[in-house]
Structure formats: structure tokens, C-alpha cells
Amino acid sequence: MRGFEYAFYGDEFYDLCGPEYLARVGGNPRSITNLARLEIARIKLAEGYDQVIWFDADVFVFDPDRLIVQTDAGYAFSREVWVTKAPDGSAHLAYTSLHNAAFIFTRQQNDLALFIHIIRHIVMTRAISSNYQVGVRLISGLAYSLDIPVITCVGMFSPDLIDAIADDRRGFMRAFARFHGHKMQAANLGWSLAANFTEARMMTAMDRLESTAGEVLNGYLDDQADRSTPIRRKFPLLRKWLHRDGARS
């Protein structure tokens, strides 16, 4: 629809990390992907492409007509708002951060080589106990110093949010939409957390998102809010992380 070329990668792209890196991370697929997807972006830009947009395989585009990922800042990672269910059933904002399930790099970027270098340096000089060391926590930790631009149109859905969408729990969905603060056209559904929900529940949530083009969530946002661009430079406050290694992709 947008005129982009499309490429799908499976486990063969792990080889881009090199045997020493693979040995150091112990075959952890998320630690491997954290580097390999950046290496793919570097390769494609070197081949002459003007920009590279990466989506994880479990990113669901539920409003393709309106989805536009672009940036004038060289690159951007996606806004993450992690919402869980409180004991009383209400939505609890655990933290806001960045996620790398969807990102964009252009030929005007100046930090791609830096991200790759830092990830490789950490793996080669530290014991890796969690994929977060070279993934979302690393990116979020650098966000303030590097002034990393943020994609707001690709969200991150927790299992509790997926349940709320499937069950049409409107109070929970309203709270999430307002925590995120921007209209979304796609989201990472966290298939790595599949043990927390059944495939049927996931499909029910996906059907509701697709049939409403995301309005099941976006409809709760104030129409006067500024959502004219999917990229925002101001990085939201990084809230306290939940200490549950391996809990998210």
C-alpha cells in the first residue's frame, strides 16, 4: 500500500550475529534478535535503501489504511505503555518505556552503528542473564541521553490488555488508551507471552481490533489531542521496571 519492498526473515538471520555472540547469549532467541534486526537494518541501508522499517512477526496491523511510520530525525523506536490488572480489576500503569518490536532507521541516522557496538560490547564483556540487557532496557536507558524519537502509532499490548479487549472491558481499555495518549494503527501482541492466554482469546481480541480499525481503543481518546504525527521527540518518564526477567518479548 505504501510502495515499500518487503522481506521476511526467519532463524537464518541469526547468523548475522556471528558464532561468538551466539555462544555468549546461550541461544536465547530474543537476545539474538535484539542484535540481528539492527544488523539487517544496517545491511539494507548499505544496499542503498532510503529507510528500513522493522516489525516483529507478532506485530498486528489492525488499521493499515492509516498506518504511516516516518521520521525526520533519522530513526525512532516505539512507545511502550505496560498496563496490568490491579487486584480490583482496574488498569494499573506499571511503566512507560520504549520497545524495539517496531522501529525505523533512515540513511540520515547517526546512531545505528552505536547501538550495534554497545550490544556487542555488553555481550562480549558481561554475563548475560536477561535479553533486556541488550534490548528494551538498554534502549530506554539511552533514550534521555540520545534524545531518541518515539513512534506512537505502534503500541505494546500486555496479556491483561488483550483479555480486556476480548472481554470488552471498557474501563480497562479506556485507561490504557489514555495512558498511551496517541492513536494506534498496530501493536505488538507479545506472542512470547502466549502461556498467559489462549489462541482463541488472542483471535477474539484481534477480530475486535481489526473490525473496528482500532477504534475499540482509539475511540476513547480526545479528538482534540495532538496526534498529527506518529513520531514524537519527547520521551515519557521512565517508570519503575517490574523485576520479572523474561516476562516480555
Q: pLDDT of 13-69, one tens digit each? A: 999 999 999 999 998 999 999 999 999 999 999 999 999 999 999 999 999 999 999
- Separation of alpha carbons 248 and 189, rounded Å: 10
Residue pLDDT, tens place only, 151-168 = 999 999 999 999 999 999
In this predicted structure, the answer to whether residue 249 has a pLDDT above a threshold of 90 is: no
Local structure of 146: helix, strand or coil: helix
Residue pLDDT, tens place only, 119-155 = 999 999 999 999 999 999 999 999 999 999 999 999 9
Task: Give the predicted TM-score (pTM) of the model.
Answer: 0.87
List, in order, residues 6 or more apart from 155 with CB less than 8 Å away: 78, 79, 80, 81, 180, 184, 186, 187, 188
Confidence class of residue 223 from pLDDT cuts 50, 70 and 90? Answer: low
Domain ranges of the chain: 11-232
